[in-house]
Each structure stands twice: as structure tokens, then as C-alpha cells.
């Protein structure tokens, strides 16, 4: 063991150095590629849809006002004012949508700004004030009021867009007159005691629960609880509006409109995975007297150090711009590159039926492909905005939610985490416990971000039933 330990430690430093060097080369290339793809998609969008599609490479003013929305920048926060025919809605968005520092972007932006300022005879901002890196503009409320009656949103783009999937599964919502989330209901229908709401994680679907846990719940549980698994806005069979910013408010309102209100949910348990944990906490804060228990799987809670900007800090933690491990490489491409990630969506999501066929052919149809279906059934617009506005944009809110759960809610809080999770480290669950001392943390050995459920669904179903039973008798 001593020799093996010394060998591993000797190989660790060279391995880290190689990872650093390769990461710098690969991500510098991706920086350039993303700029090229920006122009490629502008041309493609214009010729196919007869309209320039603004992106977050553009100045914030162009990207927002083109869709009838105005960016309002304050000292401590950034908001979107959505101009509608009835009212102005304030929507919080993450600055990581348009401010993602890279080697190429830093050089190009600083050069362009310096040239513009010198041309106008203005002193360089680097010499005036340091510390602010936001590429935003400020517009006061008077101008907002003036523009309220003048700016009109563009007509709805074709459903789906040319780079999105056009299959019936992905677009089943388009044929419905009601824009509500897809909800899979199971279990008790009459005389049920309580409801259980299941919220999936990023680029997933309700199948993450319905194909694993639902068949494994006991008859007793199914006769006691009504099980409600949803496809979040923009994912699975739920609506995927092109003009949505997929903010926390929009996600919560859709859950209320699709589940809480129509199913008349009054007392419920929540089971959430990854990104879904943020929505679960927000729901618990909004309905403190209704939540009976919170079960969080791999919650993405990263305490923000003092002096750090929360959104940018969280983006670096979730997407560290490293080629290894592979899951970090994937999350980095999805988070840092708007146009590279759109290309990946185009190749994978638009053609998911082909990938599904190939998978079945290779495995001779011996495995179920619900994970692939859940991974592919979304649009780039939905994934891009949800990733930034929910995962990154709520960096400053999660602590507040946890404190409210600790102080105002009496429900049981249970946290599960896979020991081998390379996307969300186990420390995140212990950070949750540090904010909510009564929370029970269970680390499952030899399980990762997905296999925390998939592969141990029978055992996990029993654990959930025990949590609900205990919570119901103690509250």
C-alpha cells in the first residue's frame, strides 16, 4: 500500500499538469470556434427563418430588446423587464448568460472597448474604475414606460425551430390548447392521504422517476400516496417556448399551474434531483405549511466565499473548463459556449431518434433507453437558459432558501449523494447539512450522479416510503 500510495502521488502532479495544458489548448480552440459558429448560425437563421437571431455574443441591448425585453442593470443585481400588453414583469436573469470570461473574449472585448473609447476621447475604464466586469447598459424607468407601448414582440417563431427536433414526442405540447407541463400521475386516485411531487434534474425528464421508482413502490404506498412526476418547462413532453427565458419564476409558475392548482395539492412530499433541488427548495419556501418532507438528491449547493460574485463562482465550480473528468468537460461546453452547445443539441437532440435506433441495434434492444430519451428531449434555448438562470443565477438565493427551511419549516429533510459523483461533489450535501442541522445526509458508496437512483431503484423506493411514513406520523 505504501508503494502504491507513493506511485499514485507521483503520478498525480504530472496528470494535473497534462490536464491543465490540454484544457488550455482545447478551450482556447473552442473559444475561437464559438465565435465562428456565431456567424454561421446568424446566416443560417436568416436564410431559413428570414430573421436574424440575436445571441448573447451581441451587446445586451440588442439581444434583449430584439425580443421585446429590456435589460435593467442595478448595482447589486441584474433584471429583465419584459414588455407585455398588460404589465411589466420583472424577471431575474443570470449575468453568466452574457458575461463568460475567456482568453479570446477578454482580449477582443478589451481591444474593442479601448478603440471605441479612444475614438470618442474617453479615458479607458481600466484607469477609471476596476472591479466591475458586467457588459450591461442602464436604462431608467421613464424610458421603460415610454417603450412599453412601442416595443412589440416578434411573431412566434416556427415550432419547432430548424435546429430543434420536430418529432411528435418533443412537440406533443404544441397540439394542446393549454400550455401546462406534462405530468405523469400514478398511485392513489381516491382517498389518498398525501401527494408526492417528483422533480427531475438538468436535461432529464419525468422518466427518470417513472421508469425506475414508480414500478418499485409497494401496493401500500400506491394506495396511500398520489405520485406526480413532471417534465420541467422546456424538457421532455412539456412546452418549449422559444421566447421564454426559463427563469426561476417561470418554472415555479408552471409547476403551480400544472400540478398544485389542477390536482388541488395541499399536503405534499417533494423528491428532487440535482437542479430540481433548487426548485424544490423554492417551492418549500413558498408553501412552508404544505411540505411534509424534502428529499434532495445531489443538491448543487456551493457556498459562495466572501468577495466572490455568486453567479460567476458557481459557473466555475459547475463548469471548470477542464477536459477531465469527461462529465466536467461536457458541462463546461454546455455552460461556456452558446453556439457550440447549440451545435451539440442540433447533432444529438434533433437526431435523437437515430441515436435511439443505434443504441437499440447495438444492445439488441436489451436495455431501455429512457435515459437517452430524457437527455435528448429538449431545445437548446431551454437548456441554455435553464442552466444559467437556475443553476448559476440562484447562487445567492439557495442559502436564503436553506435558512427559511431551517427556521420556518418543520418537515424532515433527507439528502442522498453518490460517493462517486464527479459533477456535484459530496461536499455539497454536507454544506446543506451545515445550514440545516436536522438534515440527514446519506452518502451511497460506488454510486454517481445517475446511479444514485438508476440501478438501486428498489432500495431507494423502500427508503422513500420510510421517509414519507415517518414524516406523516411526526408532523
Cβ atoms < 10 Å from Cβ of 411:
20
Give whole-number Cα distances, 452 to 61, 147, 151, in Å: 43, 50, 48
Closest CA to 443 of 415, 404, 405, 407: 415
- What one-character-per-residue DSSP string does 210-255 give? HTTTGGGS-HHHHHHEEEEEEPPTTBTTS---TT----HHHHHHHH
Pick the catalytic residue from 244, 421, 431, 471.
Answer: 421
- Give the 3-state secondary structure percentages of the chain, helix then strand then coil, rounded to 5: 50, 15, 40
User: Cα–Cα distance between 54 and 432 in angstroms, integer?
Assistant: 38
User: Cα–Cα distance between 94 and 86 in angstroms, integer?
Assistant: 25
**Please, what is the end-to-end C-alpha distance for the chain in angstroms?**
50
Pick the catalytic residue from 67, 380, 449, 471.
Answer: 449
Pick the catalytic residue from 200, 273, 339, 388.
Answer: 200
Pick the catalytic residue from 163, 204, 238, 274.
Answer: 274
Annotated catalytic residue 274: yes
Closest CA to 246 of 136, 396, 85, 82: 82
Annotated catalytic residue 200: yes
The partner residues of 233 in beta bridges, in order of sequence, read none
Closest CA to 391 of 294, 460, 464, 316: 316
Residues 392, 318 contacting (CB under 8 angstroms) = yes
Annotated catalytic residue 124: no
The partner residues of 438 in beta bridges, in order of sequence, read none
Q: Which helix (H) or strand (E) holds 82?
A: strand 78-83
Residues involved in catalysis:
200, 274, 421, 449
Amino acid at each position: 500500500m505504501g508503494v502504491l500510495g507513493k506511485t499514485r502521488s507521483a503520478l498525480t502532479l504530472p496528470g494535473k499538469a497534462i490536464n491543465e495544458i490540454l484544457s488550455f489548448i482545447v478551450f482556447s480552440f473552442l473559444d475561437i470556434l464559438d465565435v465562428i459558429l456565431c456567424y454561421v448560425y446568424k446566416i443560417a437563421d436568416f436564410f431559413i427563418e428570414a430573421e436574424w437571431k440575436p445571441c448573447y455574443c451581441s451587446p445586451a441591448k440588442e439581444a434583449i430588446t430584439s425580443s421585446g425585453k429590456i435589460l435593467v442593470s442595478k448595482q447589486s443585481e441584474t433584471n429583465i423587464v419584459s414588455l407585455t400588453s398588460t404589465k411589466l414583469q420583472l424577471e431575474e436573469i443570470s449575468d453568466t448568460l452574457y458575461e463568460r470570461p475567456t482568453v479570446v473574449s477578454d482580449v477582443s472585448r478589451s481591444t474593442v472597448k479601448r478603440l471605441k473609447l479612444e475614438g470618442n476621447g474617453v479615458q479607458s475604464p481600466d484607469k477609471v474604475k476596476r472591479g466591475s466586469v458586467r457588459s450591461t447598459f442602464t436604462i431608467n424607468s421613464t424610458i421603460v414606460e415610454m417603450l412599453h407601448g412601442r416595443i412589440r414582440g416578434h411573431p412566434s417563431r416556427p415550432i419547432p425551430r430548424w435546429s430543434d427536433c420536430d418529432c411528435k414526442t418533443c412537440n406533443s405540447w404544441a397540439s394542446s390548447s393549454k400550455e401546462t407541463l406534462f405530468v405523469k400521475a400514478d398511485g392513489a386516485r381516491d382517498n389518498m392521504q398525501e401527494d408526492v411531487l417528483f422533480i427531475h434534474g438538468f436535461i432529464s425528464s419525468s422518466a427518470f422517476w417513472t421508469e425506475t421508482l414508480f414500478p418499485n413502490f409497494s401496493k401500500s404506498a400506491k394506495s396511500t400516496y398520489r405520485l406526480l412526476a413532471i417534465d420541467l418547462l422546456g424538457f421532455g413532453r412539456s412546452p418549449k417556448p422559444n421566447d421564454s427565458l426559463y427563469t426561476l419564476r417561470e418554472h415555479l409558475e408552471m409547476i403551480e399551474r400544472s400540478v398544485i392548482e389542477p390536482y388541488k395539492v395541499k399536503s405534499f412530499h417533494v423528491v428532487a434531483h440535482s437542479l430540481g433541488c433548487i426548485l424544490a427548495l423554492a417551492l418549500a419556501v413558498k408553501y412552508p405549511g404544505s411540505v411534509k418532507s424534502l428529499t434532495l438528491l445531489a443538491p448543487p449547493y456551493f457556498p459562495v466565499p466572501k468577495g466572490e460574485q455568486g453567479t460567476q463562482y458557481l459557473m466555475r465550480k459547475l463548469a471548470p473548463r477542464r477536459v477531465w473528468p469527461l462529465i466536467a468537460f461536457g458541462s463546461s461546453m454546455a455552460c461556456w459556449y452558446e453556439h457550440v452547445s447549440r451545435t451539440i443539441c442540433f447533432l444529438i437532440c434533433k437526431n435523437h431518434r437515430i441515436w435511439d435506433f443505434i443504441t437499440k441495434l447495438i444492445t439488441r434492444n436489451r436495455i431501455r433507453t429512457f435515459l437517452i430519451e430524457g437527455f435528448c428531449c429538449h431545445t437548446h434555448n431551454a437548456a441554455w437558459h435553464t442552466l444559467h438562470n437556475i443553476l448559476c443565477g440562484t447562487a445567492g438565493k439557495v442559502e436564503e432558501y436553506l435558512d427559511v427551511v431551517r427556521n420556518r419549516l418543520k418537515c424532515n429533510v433527507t439528502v442522498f449523494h453518490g460517493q462517486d459523483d464527479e459533477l456535484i461533489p459530496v461536499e455539497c450535501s454536507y454544506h446543506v447539512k451545515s445550514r440545516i442541522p436536522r438534515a440527514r445526509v446519506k452518502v451511497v458508496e460506488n454510486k454517481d450522479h445517475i446511479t444514485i437512483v438508476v440501478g438501486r431503484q428498489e432500495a431507494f423506493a423502500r427508503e422513500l416510503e420510510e421517509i414519507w411514513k415517518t414524516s406523516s406520523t411526526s408532523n
